[in-house]
C-alpha cells in the first residue's frame, strides 16, 4: 500500500497487444509507486517496456489488467472524455522528437494546450510569453521550429508541457535527439523547473547519465521491473 504522499500507484499492471501467436506482453504485473515531488527514471533497453509504461501512466494507453490510481482516482474507471481531461490538465509531455507544429511560432506552440483548455487569447499570450521567458527563449517567440536549434526546440516543448501547470511531467528520452552538452543543459533546466514548480517527474531513458539526475531509478526488462536503483549522486539535495 502506498502512502498518502504517493501521486501515482500501480498494482499488477499488464499491457498485452494482439492475441494467439501474435500476442505480445509489453508490461507484466508492474507494481509502481511514485511519490509527490519525486523524480523517477525508467531505464531499460529498447523493447523493455519503459515507453509503454510511460504511455499508460500518461493515459495515452490503457492497461489490459491491473489497477492504476492517479491522485487517488481509479484511472481505469474513467470514461474516454474524463481520461482526455486528465491527460490535458494533469500531465505535461516532453518527447525526444519535440512534436512541435512546423507552421506555428514558438509562442503559438506553447499556447496550444491553453487553446484546447479554453483560455482566452490575451491570457494565452501572457502565459505563453512567461513560459518562454522561463526557459530562456523570450527573444525567439516569433521563430518557427525550423529556425530553432535542437536544444531550443526542446525548450519550447518543455514550456508547452508546463502550460497548464501539470502535476506530473512525463519525459520520453528528452535528450535523445541532442548532443551531450545540450542534453545536460536540458536536464539541468528540467530539474530547476521541477524544484520551482514542485513537479513530480518520470523520465524514460536508456542513458545512465540522464538517469543519474533522478532521485530513484527503476529498470525494466521484458515488461517487468527487475531492479530499483539509487542514483550515484543527489543533485536536488
DSSP 75-137: GGGS-HHHHHHHHHHHEEEEETT----TTS-HHHHHHHHHHHTT--HHHHHHHHHHHHHHTT-
Quick one: pLDDT at residue 229?
Answer: 62
DSSP H or E stretch at residue 229: strand 224-229
Q: What is the pLDDT of residues 160-182, one digit of tens each?
A: 999 999 999 999 998 888 888 99
List CB contacts of 126: < 8 A, sequence separation 6 or more: none
Domain definitions of the chain by residue range: 6-99+163-229
**What average pLDDT does this structure show over 93-119?**
94
| Average pLDDT over every residue of 122-138 | 95
The pLDDT tens digits of the residues spanning 197-231 come to 889 999 999 888 888 889 999 999 999 999 876 54
pLDDT band of 2, cuts 50, 70, 90: very low
Answer CATH for 6-99+163-229 from 3.40.50.970, 3.40.50.300, 2.60.40.10, 3.40.50.1000: 3.40.50.300
pTM: 0.88
pLDDT above 50 for 236: no
What is the rounded distance in angstroms from the CA atom of residue 183 to the CA atom of residue 171? Answer: 13
List strands edge to edge, sheet with 24-35.
Answer: 24-35, 6-17, 65-70, 73-74
Q: Contact, 220 vs 42, CB < 8 A?
A: yes
73-74/224-229 β-pairing: unpaired
Cell output for 117: 483548455
4 has a pLDDT exceeding 60: no
Mean pLDDT score, 144-163: 94
Amino acid at each position: 500500500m502506498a502512502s498518502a504522499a504517493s501521486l501515482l500507484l500501480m498494482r499488477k499492471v499488464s499491457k498485452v497487444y494482439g492475441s494467439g501467436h501474435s500476442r505480445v506482453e509489453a508490461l507484466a504485473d508492474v507494481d509502481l509507486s511514485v511519490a509527490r515531488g519525486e523524480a523517477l527514471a525508467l531505464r531499460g533497453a529498447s523493447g523493455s517496456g519503459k515507453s509503454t509504461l510511460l504511455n499508460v501512466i500518461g493515459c495515452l494507453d490503457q492497461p489490459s489488467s491491473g489497477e492504476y490510481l492517479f491522485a487517488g482516482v481509479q484511472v481505469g474507471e474513467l470514461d474516454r472524455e474524463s481520461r482526455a481531461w486528465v491527460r490535458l490538465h494533469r500531465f505535461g509531455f516532453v518527447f525526444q522528437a519535440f512534436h512541435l507544429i512546423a507552421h506555428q511560432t514558438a509562442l503559438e506552440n506553447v499556447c496550444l494546450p491553453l487553446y484546447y483548455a479554453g483560455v482566452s487569447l490575451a491570457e494565452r499570450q501572457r502565459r505563453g510569453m512567461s513560459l518562454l521567458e522561463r526557459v530562456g527563449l523570450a527573444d525567439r517567440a516569433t521563430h518557427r521550429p525550423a529556425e530553432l536549434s535542437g536544444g531550443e526546440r526542446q525548450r519550447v516543448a518543455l514550456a508547452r508541457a508546463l502550460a497548464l501547470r501539470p502535476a506530473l511531467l512525463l519525459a520520453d528520452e528528452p535528450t535523445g535527439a541532442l548532443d551531450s552538452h545540450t542534453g545536460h543543459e536540458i536536464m539541468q533546466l528540467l530539474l530547476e523547473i521541477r524544484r520551482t514548480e514542485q513537479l513530480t517527474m518520470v523520465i524514460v531513458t536508456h542513458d545512465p547519465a540522464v538517469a543519474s539526475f533522478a532521485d530513484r531509478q527503476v529498470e525494466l526488462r521484458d515488461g517487468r521491473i527487475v531492479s530499483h536503483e539509487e542514483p550515484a549522486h543527489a543533485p536536488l539535495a
